[in-house]
Structure 1
Amino acid sequence: MKSITGRCLCETIVYQIEGDLGPVFNCHCSKCRRWHGAAFRTRASIKRSQFTWLAGEHLLSRFNSSDNVTKTFCSICGSNLASFYADNPDVVGIALGGLEGDPGRRPLANIFVGSKALWYALSDGLPQFEAWPVSEAAVRETVDDSASD
């Protein structure tokens, strides 16, 4: 089974993902842009059972960015880590920027381009969606653990 680790900037918080990521998207919504301080957030979903904190979990800070979404970040360096969903506790949202190595997937599309940064020009050739590409559930899809090698 494939395994990949991720960590925060100060390398105090470390996590591991076992198995494949779900579909990858570049999200241009204003919340992702503010959370990452960048033009967009490249993200994927995994099953909660695939995710393990290896070190520094006691240093996590949490922020409820909506009634449904809790963002986690390092209380020392501020690095963005994982998102958790009240309506779907079996799914974890992962920002790919913190991963070490090749996650094995590439972005499929740019989403929420209707609220993208005005100063950023999309030029990657990926499909663009004003909001969700089909549904919120499609963005938060995961891969069946049993399908991973």
Structure 2
Amino acid sequence: MDKPIGHCHCLTCQKAHAAAFATTAGVLREDYRWLRGEEKLSSYQSSPGKLRHFCAICGSQLIAARTGQAHFIVRVASLDQDPGARPAKHIWTSHDRPWLTCD
């Protein structure tokens, strides 16, 4: 992974994943490849210049990409194998919703 694994608490991730946060990591485009299923991808623009790619069959969010960025944003929970790293940060925690936090 090019960028550390982190938990994103932004409102867009909360809505897109129907969860309190999304666990993501950055991977350089040249280090990323689809093994199978690329033809089943669909996408939408969630904010200007950012495409979210998901499986058109099951709806799972898989990656996101911003125009001009050198990396993809991988949805770590969609991986089948342990990436060998653990989350290192939480971002956009100011967007946390009180009914989604736990003690």
Same fold by TM-score, threshold 0.5 exceeded?
A: yes
What letter matches 1:24 in structure 2?
I
Residue equivalent to 2:94: 114
Listed one character per residue, the Cα deviations across residues 86-122 of structure 1 (whole Å, up to 9, x for unaligned) are 031x210001101122211111121111111221226
| Secondary structure at 1:65 match in 2 | strand
Residue equivalent to 2:75: 95
| Higher normalized contact order (CA 8 Å, seq sep 6+, divided by chain length) | 2
Residue equivalent to 1:84: 65
Instruction: Measure, in 1, the Cα distance between the counterparts of 2:3 and 2:91.
Output: 15
Residue equivalent to 1:71: 52
User: Relative to structure 1, is the Cα distance of residues 107 and 122 closer, same or farther in structure 2, using a 3 angstrom cutoff?
Assistant: farther
TM-score normalised per structure 1: 0.64
| Secondary structure at 1:53 match in 2 | coil
Residue equivalent to 1:4: none
Backbone CA RMSD of aligned residues: 1.4
What letter matches 2:96 in structure 1?
K
Unmatched 5+ stretches in structure 1: 1-19, 124-149
Instruction: Measure, in 2, the Cα distance between the counterparts of 1:121 and 1:79.
Output: 23
Instruction: Measure, in 2, the Cα distance between the counterparts of 1:121 and 1:101.
Output: 28
1:29 is aligned to 2:32:
no
Pairs aligned (count): 103
Residue equivalent to 1:12: none
Among 63, 67, 85, the alignment partner of 1:105 is: 85
Unmatched 5+ stretches in structure 2: none
TM-score normalised per structure 2: 0.91
Identity of aligned residues (%): 34
| Secondary structure at 2:14 match in 1 | helix
